[in-house]
Structure 1
């Protein structure tokens, strides 16, 4: 079995969409455009604790009070990246009189960073990102460009939070003994309750189109948990942090928030799931509105932001495990 191929495919579950690549997106402009432009419609945002729809300003105010803000994504959805860029700019403005937020991203490994002084055209920004380890083809560049530019424009450094290259393979082959030194012993302090563990396992299996062999479930689970822990530890190295990662990483039941017991401190953390509406659904059908999305996914996020879907083929069509 080709473990490298398997682990590459494992990354697909990060957004719980089974997708990593970017197909043609009907996103109102080029996918990497930094010009956000006016919203065609008001954002569909729900505060899960109340079940009430809120506007962009209210969301910004609620998020700004937290020291760690988790923003999810479907990796191939340009709507998600532009929405988060708008949010990052607003959050940066909200802290103008304080130490700025720092950005921690899944797209770079822990220990790497891009300075907030980075400016210039797309090619110059990409060169700086690639020097920090960014894989432009794997992440469908320029999809994430609006996110990075928004952060840099607000004086935020773009910091890596993921496992270093090759670490996932070592974990897959060697188990917890291959954890990085600063993560050693922490996973055991935040074991998942049975229902949460079942939810994670289901996400892993679904992310591989139902074809994941039972024997691979445990090592896949370890890689996912270690990745989440790495992102959390990276986030706590700053006074105030915005974390950019797939929806699977920001889920409260088995993602980054579930690892808070591993820390000595208790940072004030909040999570936003960026989901997709079903254009064919009507109110009352799951995915038709933000309220429908909240009913279907709400327990695992503090807030839900619903956008139009990305145009994509069925990711399971022709999929076969190696």
Structure 2
């Protein structure tokens, strides 16, 4: 594993484009995003070019989709889109925003870390540990501290426009724990199989150093050097990352996201 002094949230700092290549000293580079912000995907592609990863792990892909994408090789955007069934599934923003990441690292092996929906639903009902084979190893069998539980429930409620039933919010936290642990597990698989560096493409929430993917990497593979990069919009208060990129706000033109809740 690479030897690296990792920053914590105490001495985290902004990251400029000219410093992207310095991230390549880590075994794992986790780069967050706001999913519908093309500026964030352009930065992810630039980081991919800078660090020359041996593997790229996508939150957005299942293992089966990743295998299909790998088989497609260096395809055109239309061919890779079809192989991944990205547009056909309609689960994520336009593939035109994500394709540059694939194109920037044609040498990299593609990994999919998405958790099946039935497992996510089961985690909401029965807890993350019930859906994870190595629950004790990853700490999913342990309750969160009262402070963290409360903070995470508040964030889940806000993310869903405070429209979730009260008894569902704690389950959403469990679903998030399941996904973060699963993303970390696939990341470590990619690191073992390719030697790294491994680039992880995921939402900003999963990239958090206090309770996202990095916490599980530290727990299960403490010798693996990782750096987490958050991408924030101007004026946003930075949650914990090792590095962050401040970008301008991008209006996706979708209007008020809470309307979907209020109209139901």
**What interval of TM-score do these two structures reach, taking the shorter chain for normalisation?**
0.7 to 0.9
> C-alpha separation between the residues in 2 aligned to 1:220 and 1:321?
22
Over the aligned positions, Cα root-mean-square deviation in angstroms equals 2.7
Alignment equivalent of 2:70, drawn from 95, 115, 120: 115
* Corresponding residue for residue 167 of structure 1: 119
Q: Is the 8 A contact 2:233 2:249 kept in 1?
A: yes
Where does residue 103 of structure 2 map in the other structure?
149
CA distance in 2: counterparts of 1:149 and 1:196, whole angstroms: 38
The answer to whether the aligner puts 1:58 opposite 2:19 as a matched pair is: yes
Q: Deviations over 1:86-144 (max 9, x none)?
A: 1111111xxxxxxx4310110012464332861232210112212xx786421122221
Task: Judge conservation of contact 1:190–1:260 (CA < 8 Å) in 2.
Answer: no
Aligned length: 247
Equivalent residues of 2:13, 2:243 under 8 A apart: no
User: Offset of 1:78 from its aligned partner?
Assistant: 0.8
Distance 1:193 1:59 in 2: 35
Higher-helix-fraction structure: 2
1:303: Cα distance to partner?
1.1
Give the match for residue 184 of structure 2.
232
More deviation in 140-149 or 170-179?
170-179
Measured at CA, do residues 48 and 230 of structure 1 come closer, stay the same or move farther in structure 2, by a change above 3 Å?
closer
The equivalent of 2:133 in structure 1 is 181
TM-score scaled by structure 1? 0.68
Who is 2:242 aligned against?
A: 302
Q: Distance in 1 between matches of 2:48 and 2:204?
A: 17
Most deviating of 73-82 and 108-117: 108-117
Q: 2:221, 2:14 → 1: CA distance? A: 35
1:86–1:150 contact (8 Å) kept in structure 2: yes
Match of 2:91 among 121, 138, 160: 138
Q: Is this contact kept in 2: 1:183–1:230, CA < 8 A?
A: no
Q: 1:217 aligns with which of 169, 194, 200?
A: 169
Match of 2:5?
none
Task: Tell me which of 214, 224, 231 is aligned to 1:267.
Answer: 224
